[in-house]
Amino acid sequence: MSDEDYDVIIIGTGAGGGTLARHLAPSGRRILLLERGDWLPREPQNWSAQDVFVDSRYISPDTWYDAKGKTFQPQVHYFVGGATKLYGAALYRLRREDFGELHHHDGLSPAWPISYDEMEPYYTLAEQLYAVHGARGEDPTEPSSSAPYPHPALSHEPRIQQLSDDLAAAGYHPFHAPCGVMLDESNVPYSTCVRCGFCDGFPCPLHAKSDAEVHGVRPALTHPNVTLLTNATVVRLDTNPAGTAVTDVVVDLEDERVTFTADVVVMSCGAANTAKLLLASANDRHPNGLANGSDQVGRNYMFHNSQAVLALSHEPNPTVFQKTLGINDFYFGTEDFEYPMGNIQMVGKSTEEMYRGEKPIETKLAPTRVLSDIASHAVDFWLSTEDLPRPDNRVTLEADGNVKLSYQTGNKAASDRLYHQLKSMLGHLGLHPDHLIPRHAYLKSAIPVAGVAHQAGTCRFGTDPAASVLDTDCRTHEVDNLYAVDTSFFPSIGAVNPALTAMANALRVGDHLLDRLGTA
Ligand SMILES: Cc1cc2nc3c(=O)[nH]c(=O)nc-3n(C[C@H](O)[C@H](O)[C@H](O)COP(=O)(O)OP(=O)(O)OC[C@H]3O[C@@H](n4cnc5c(N)ncnc54)[C@H](O)[C@@H]3O)c2cc1C
Ligand code: SF4
């Protein structure tokens, strides 16, 4: 295969790369998408809890090392659409305050170099492109918005409506969670989404989930100027002799090593793999890794301090699609805990099959209750606490070139507090007050460091080239034609799910690139 030249090369097709591709496609510029994975197969196993949760069918093979040099299998999904193929499609905006400096129990969450108001129009556009359902005005922490949600909130099923009513009666502010599924409850026979119980953590064979394949890559590919190569792993970026511009994008394509060139190169490999690519591209001008004069590449890795927990309802919980409710009353703290605690939301309804091998459930509940009984009464929550950026929580490369992820959990006091806050409320919510059991299935692994679903940081953006990797346009400070639009740019992660922010930012950077290419 001969070398080929493009206007823009985008590496990775997930939330950042897929969204950017769609935004740039109408420009007519020659765009090449390089994706290391393949199309995720549409097959019966997509909706099998055994295949997805127990046998990890869609976790892509990769080997990373922890701080002690022990190998582990990270929870990564190398497919067209990236991690969004499996995501829960909870599409939250960061809070306005998350863009400023916030004092946490364990330290400072730094300010972003841009304000919420600069991001707001792109959040609105991202919500439209990804067909988000929601209701404004219910969540007191919600930032201002220039448009309503494009689709009405998903209705709660009866047990979740009851939970919402009980929360409201206890003085809290439950809200309809923002959700990207193409469900039309006003016209069910014509709805693309069928509101099944296999959404959060599963792929959708109906293409009814608002993922980056469906709303990013596929619309982009309707333009003849956009090309996608799958099974194309970018292994290195080479620069001109001065080290100021990427000249060659070196790719393992099936069994061949090939090179592509472009005026602009955009990395969107996911936070860890974008850092890996930069570190693997060290050269004479960039001896510590490409664009790494600041020694910031790979540092400040964050992934939320998350807990998946199961409570037991006194009444059965026959809910099918459970992820319709959120609570942010503790996001910024409470009177007796002045620091931010985070967000509580529902996760997909657990089933008996998912519990197999989950020791906490087997030891704490199974001796007295059968698993099917636990499943029929389970109410499943997801608790997210902000994980603060720490320079030593970082991606480096092992001698074999694989990712080494050194990570120590932080902000634990806030995360424990959030857990106990929820536990203290159970008795008022028709839930058994003694049980709030940790779940590992949603984290896909009992090894915390492997749960990389919400990975971010590693190439934070900022105005100071000594303290950041990217400038405010997400261009590397040191290499003029090199950008990143995945979650690696996050200087802090907030406590809500990250994907909508990656999508919105990709649109923001996309506008900058359209200007740069003279096609705005
Ligand atoms: C089970 C699960 C549930 C989640 N639920 C939610 C949710 O409800 N809400 C939410 O906001 N977020 C959720 N997330 C997180 C969300 O999916 C991610 O934050 C988001 O996808 C990150 O986007 P990204 O562009 O940074 O990376 P990704 O979407 O991971 O995309 C990276 C892409 O780059 C490709 N790639 C990597 N290296 C290379 C290379 N060298 N060459 C070529 N291609 C490469 C990968 O194959 C992948 O396609 C969830 C994630 C998981 C796994
Ligand atoms: S709930 Fe809807 S979007 Fe989710 S997997 Fe089922 S059909 Fe697909």
Residue identifier of the C-alpha nearest atom 3 of ligand 1: 87
SS (H, E, C) 126-148: HHHHCCCECCCCCCCCCCCCCCC
* Helix or strand (DSSP H, E) at 508: helix 499-516
pLDDT for 2 equals 42
Q: Note the pTM of the prediction, 2 decimals.
A: 0.97
Q: Determine the distance separating the centroid of ligand 2 and the alpha carbon of 442, expressed in angstroms.
A: 17
Is 302 in contact with 107 (CB distance < 8 Å)?
no
d(Cα 228, Cα 144) in Å, to the nearest integer? 37
d(Cα 496, Cα 93) in Å, to the nearest integer? 7
Which residue, among 59, 25, 22, 53, has the nearest Cα to 40 in the 3D structure?
A: 59
Q: Evaluate: CB of 410 within 6 angstroms of ligand 1.
A: no
Closest ligand 2 atom to residue 181 Cα is: 3
Is 281 in contact with 289 (CB distance < 8 Å)?
yes
- DSSP for 407-466, written as a single string: -----HHHHHHHHHHHHHHGGGGTEEEEEEEEESGGGTSSSGGG--TT-B-SS-B-S-TT
Q: How many CA atoms lie within 13 A of 15 on its CB side?
A: 31
The one-letter amino acid at 493:
I
- DSSP for 42-78, written as a single string: -SGGGG-HIIIIIS-TTSPP--EEETTS-EE------
The tens place of each residue's pLDDT in the chain, 520 residues long, gives 345 899 999 999 999 999 999 999 999 999 999 999 999 999 999 999 999 988 999 999 999 999 999 999 999 999 999 999 999 999 999 999 999 999 999 999 999 999 999 999 999 999 999 999 999 999 999 999 999 999 999 999 999 999 999 999 999 999 999 999 999 999 999 999 999 999 999 999 999 999 999 999 999 999 999 999 999 999 999 999 999 999 999 999 988 999 999 999 999 999 999 999 999 999 999 999 999 999 999 999 999 999 999 999 999 999 999 999 999 999 999 999 999 999 999 999 998 888 876 666 666 666 667 888 899 999 999 999 999 999 999 999 999 999 999 999 989 999 999 999 999 999 999 999 988 988 865 554 555 788 899 999 999 999 999 999 999 999 999 999 999 999 999 999 999 999 999 999 999 999 999 999 999 7
pLDDT for 32 equals 98
Residue identifier of the C-alpha nearest atom 4 of ligand 2: 199
Q: Evaluate: CB of 496 within 6 angstroms of ligand 1.
A: no
Q: How many CA atoms lie within 13 A of 24 on its CB side?
A: 34
Torsion angles phi and psi, residue 218, rounded to 5: -60, -45
In the chain, how long is the greatest CA-to-CA distance?
69
Rounded to a whole number of angstroms, the distance between the first and last alpha carbons of the chain is 33
The one-letter amino acid at 496:
V
Q: Evaluate: CB of 492 within 6 angstroms of ligand 1.
A: no
Instruction: Classify burial at 145, counting beta carbons within 10 Å of its beta carbon; exposed 0-12, middle 13-18, buried 19 or more.
Output: middle
CB atoms within 10 A of CB 70: 10
Residue identifier of the C-alpha nearest atom 7 of ligand 2: 193
Q: Evaluate: CB of 24 within 6 angstroms of ligand 1.
A: no
Task: Catalogue the E-assigned strands of 186-304.
Answer: 226-229, 232-239, 246-253, 256-267
Query: Looking at the chain, how many residues does it have?
Result: 520
Distances (CA, A) of 111 to 176, 251, 324, 384: 28, 36, 30, 20
Instruction: Classify burial at 363, counting beta carbons within 10 Å of its beta carbon; exposed 0-12, middle 13-18, buried 19 or more.
Output: exposed
* Helix or strand (DSSP H, E) at 374: helix 371-377
Q: Evaluate: CB of 18 within 6 angstroms of ligand 1.
A: no
* Helix or strand (DSSP H, E) at 107: strand 107-109
pLDDT for 372 equals 87
pLDDT for 451 equals 86
pLDDT for 394 equals 98
Lateral strand order in the sheet of 431-439: 175-176, 325-327, 343-346, 378-385, 305-313, 431-439
To test ligand 1's pocket by mutation, which of 75, 87, 91 has the most ligand atoms within 8 angstroms of CB?
Answer: 87
Which residues in 21-58 are b (16+ Cβ under 10 Å) and which e?
bbbbbebebbbbbbbbbeebeeeebbbbbebbbbeebb
pLDDT for 219 equals 98
Which residue, among 432, 332, 440, has the nearest Cα to 382 in the 3D structure?
A: 440
Name residue 334's beta-bridge partners.
337
Q: Determine the distance separating the centroid of ligand 2 and the alpha carbon of 406, expressed in angstroms.
A: 35
Instruction: Classify burial at 352, counting beta carbons within 10 Å of its beta carbon; exposed 0-12, middle 13-18, buried 19 or more.
Output: middle
